[in-house]
Amino acid sequence: MSFLNDLLGRKDPNHVMQPLYNAVIAQGRRVDWYEQGSVPDTLDGRFDMIAAMLCLVLIRLEQDDDARQEIAWLTELFVKDMDGQLRQIGIGDMIVGKRVGEMMSALGGRLGAYRNALSGNGDIEEAMTRNLYRGNAPDAAALEHSVKNFTDLHHHLSEMTTKDVLAGNIAKVES
């Protein structure tokens, strides 16, 4: 398929978006989220963290009307990855579609909650407690760590060019 896309001058969405998706996964797997932030290091906790990082990137890309196609492609990579992850842990074909649908619904809910909170129309601590900790608030220091790092990454992404975000250069360099 890649050969045909090249021949016809079309972009291969998997090839174009894979660096950004890999960067989203890397951000969601940062050890500090689980150690200092007390995000549960479980399948659900890792899903919640990846979804949170994906939401930050999607919120940033929504600022650019020309990035609509890339938003769709990035979301498709997420679906493909989640489908593969479910199959890898032994979820059968009959159930995978339903579970992926539930994950997409969860992503949509989180996207709305984080978008509202980050724009000042909601409480970020409440949104993160509900969506990252599934309603079980961690101790104050852990929540503070997660909120600070989440909002710092949001500000970092907001200052980046769309081209740099799409290239996957989203890691915040600590000074």
In this structure, what token pair is assigned to residue 4? 């045909």
Q: How far is CA 42 from CA 17, 49, 92, 109, in A?
A: 26, 10, 20, 20
Cα–Cα dist 46/82, whole Å: 12
Domain chopping of the chain, boundaries: 2-166
Q: Write the DSSP symbol of residue 36.
A: T
Is 99 within 8 Å of 91 (Cβ atoms)? Answer: yes
Per-residue pLDDT of the chain (175 residues; tens, 9 = 90+): 455 455 445 577 778 899 999 999 999 999 999 999 999 999 889 989 999 999 999 999 999 999 999 999 999 898 887 766 665 666 666 676 677 677 777 889 999 999 999 999 999 999 999 999 999 999 999 999 999 999 999 999 999 999 999 999 999 765 3
How much is the pTM?
A: 0.87
Cα–Cα dist 129/114, whole Å: 11
Q: How far is CA 145 from CA 35, 67, 171, in A?
A: 10, 31, 17
CA-CA-CA-CA torsion sign (34, 151, 27, 60): positive
Cα–Cα dist 164/154, whole Å: 14
> 10 Å Cβ neighbour count for 15?
13
